[in-house]
Structure 1
C-alpha cells in the first residue's frame, strides 16, 4: 500500500511536561502507528509512555499474524513498564497497523483510533474509562462525559499490574481512508464531527497541525498528540495461480467406452434365415419315430396369486486520575 503519515505532539497550555509519546514505523510492507499517554508523579508518566512506544516498536514482528504480533508487543510493553515502576507508573497505548489492505488496532486505556472514510468517522477502539462505562450503561451522554470532572479516570493501563488485557480490532481499508490516533488532550476538546471534517479537508501534515491548534485554542488542558495515516493506494490483488498443464509423466486420459452399434439390415436377414433352418430341422427330428426325445409338453400355467391390498399411507477496578 502507499500511505502518507504525519504526527504532532504538544505540551498544551496547562502542563509543564509532555507525558505523551508516539511512534511511526514502516517495517517492510507494514505501517505501524503508536500513541501513548503516560501517568504518574515526577516524570514517571513521561518515562512510562516512552518505554511503551519503544518496546511496542522493538517487539513488533511484521511477519507474524497481525493480531498476535500486536498482542505480543503490548504484553512486552506492559512487562517492561511494570518491571520499571512496579505499578507506580502507567500509560495508555493505542496502535494501528496498516497491512495488506487491512487495518488492525490494539488498545489499552482511553487513547483512540479513528477511521475517517468519505467524510464519516468511526471510532475503532474502545475507551477503558469510567465515563465510557457510564455512557455504555446509558447513565451519561457523550457530551456529559466530555465535560465530566472524572473523565480522566481510566480502568485499564499498561504498567498498572503484572498482566493486562489488550483489545484487538480489525477493519478493511479503501483508497482515501484516513486512520487517526489521538490522546484525550485532543479528542476530549474536539468533537468527532470536527475531527472528520478536518481529516477529510486537509492532507495529513496540515490536518494534524489543525487539530493540535484547535485543541490549544479551546484551553489545551492536557498534552495533545495526533498521528495520521492516509491511504493513497491499496496493494494489488494477488492473481490466482493457473492450473498446470499435464506433464509427460501423467497418464493420458482413458478413451471413451465404445458404444454398441446396431446390427445392419443384412445381418438381421441372415440371422432370421438361420433361425428358420434350425426350427425346420428340429421339427423333423421331433416328428421322426423312435426319436431320442419325447415331444415337449407345454407347461401348466401357474394359478394367479391374489392381489394384496396396499397399506394406507398417512402423512475492572478504576485506575487513579492521571
Structure 2
C-alpha cells in the first residue's frame, strides 16, 4: 500500500539491511464488513609470483549466489471429493551479462467450500491475477522498458486482484461462487503482498516466524475485539464465515503490504485447510527443520491430515537468498 514505491530496477538492486513494514466444512457464507552490492575484494599479488601459485581463501560472501526456490503441495485432504484450492508459483532467474532483480510470484486461492463452482473461482482468480502481474511487471523487464518501471508495484497488485474479482463475478452472476486470494511477489529485496480472505502468508527469517496477512473472517474479527479467545476460536461454530472474498461483488476490498526482506529466509503461503487445523507453533516447528523444500511442504500436508484433513490442503514454501 506504498504508492511511492516505484517499479525501479536500480532501486531494487540496492542493499538495505534496515527492515521496514508498510501497512497498511459446510458452505462458507460471506457477510458484509462494517544493489545488493558486495565490497570489492582486492588481492595483491607480487609480480614475480604466478597467480596460480597463490592460494586464495573464499569467504561465504564470495560464494553467495542469490536464489529463489519453491516447493508446493496442493491436495484433496481426507474428506473432500473435489479440490477447490488453486496455487501458482513462478520464479525467474538470470545470469551472465543479463542482469535483473530476483523475481518470484506465488499465489494461493481457496474456492469457497460448498458454494457452486468454488474450484472454478479459485482457478480463474489465480490465472487472471498472475497474467496481469506478469504482463505489467515481468514482460516490461524483458523489454527493458523504462516507462513501465514507473508503475507502483502495489498498484499493479491491487489492479490484478480487482481484475480477478471482476473475472470471477462476471463468470456467471447467477452462480454463488467466490474465493480467497493471497499473492506474494518478491522483487529484488522487497516482498509485496495483496490479500483477500483467510488464506495466509507467513515469513520465517532471523529466528522469527510471523503471519504477514490478517484473516478476513468472522472468527478473526471476534478475536480482534476480544469476544473470543484463540482457544474458543478453534471450536467456534462459524469459524468458516468470511468477511471478504473475491468474486462476491463488483468491487472487493484488498489488503496490501510491503516488507524489506532479510538476506535469507522462507515464505509459506497456505489455505485454511492447513493453518486452520494446525497451530502456528506446529507450522513453525516444521519450517525450522533442516529438510529439503519438498519434504517441508509434504510434512506440513501430513500434519494437517493427522489433524483431520477436513478441507483441501495447500502449502507453497519458498526459500530465498537475496
TM-score (norm 1): 0.69
Q: Secondary structure at the match of 2:111?
A: strand
1:106-129 CA-to-partner distances (Å, cap 9, x unmatched) read 100000111112342111111100
2:297 match: 208
Choose between structure 1 and 2 for higher RCO, CA contacts under 8 A separated by at least 6 residues: 2
1:177-227 CA-to-partner distances (Å, cap 9, x unmatched) read 111111000001111111112112123211111000110011101000001
Task: After TM superposition, give the deviation of residue 41 of structure 1 in Å.
Answer: 4.9
The 3 A distance-change label for structure 1 pair 188 and 174 is same
User: Do residues 73 (structure 1) and 160 (structure 2) align?
Assistant: yes
Is this contact kept in 2: 1:25–1:57, CA < 8 A? no
For the residues of structure 2 that align with 1:136 and 1:174, how far apart are their CA atoms? Answer: 29
For the residues of structure 2 that align with 1:157 and 1:50, how far apart are their CA atoms? Answer: 14
1:153-176 CA-to-partner distances (Å, cap 9, x unmatched) read 001000000000110011121233
Moved more, 150-159 or 1-10: 1-10
From 78, 81, 84, the equivalent of 2:171 is: 84
TM-score (norm 2): 0.69
Task: After TM superposition, give the deviation of residue 43 of structure 1 in Å.
Answer: 5.4
Deviating 4+ runs (over 4 angstroms): 40-43
1:108 match: 196
What residue ranges of structure 1 are gaps of 5+ in the alignment? 235-322
User: Do residues 2 (structure 1) and 75 (structure 2) align?
Assistant: no
The 3 A distance-change label for structure 1 pair 119 and 210 is farther
Is this contact kept in 2: 1:102–1:173, CA < 8 A? yes
* Count of residues in Structure 1 that have an aligned counterpart in Structure 2: 233
Is this contact kept in 1: 2:195–2:255, CA < 8 A? yes
User: Do residues 39 (structure 1) and 112 (structure 2) align?
Assistant: yes
For the residues of structure 1 that align with 2:116 and 2:302, how far apart are their CA atoms? Answer: 25
Pairwise CA RMSD: 1.6
1:250-306 CA-to-partner distances (Å, cap 9, x unmatched) read xxxxxxxxxxxxxxxxxxxxxxxxxxxxxxxxxxxxxxxxxxxxxxxxxxxxxxxxx
For the residues of structure 1 that align with 2:293 and 2:116, how far apart are their CA atoms? Answer: 30
Is this contact kept in 1: 2:115–2:176, CA < 8 A? no
Is this contact kept in 2: 1:113–1:124, CA < 8 A? yes
From 125, 132, 143, the equivalent of 2:231 is: 143
Is this contact kept in 1: 2:116–2:176, CA < 8 A? no
For the residues of structure 2 that align with 1:189 and 1:23, how far apart are their CA atoms? Answer: 22
1:32-54 CA-to-partner distances (Å, cap 9, x unmatched) read 10000002657500000000010
1:114-158 CA-to-partner distances (Å, cap 9, x unmatched) read 111234211111110000000100111122212322111001000
1:208-249 CA-to-partner distances (Å, cap 9, x unmatched) read 1100011001110100000111112x1xxxxxxxxxxxxxxx
Is this contact kept in 1: 2:77–2:313, CA < 8 A? yes
The 3 A distance-change label for structure 1 pair 145 and 157 is same
For the residues of structure 1 that align with 2:207 and 2:297, how far apart are their CA atoms? Answer: 16
Is this contact kept in 1: 2:85–2:110, CA < 8 A? yes
Task: After TM superposition, give the deviation of residue 68 of structure 1 in Å.
Answer: 1.0
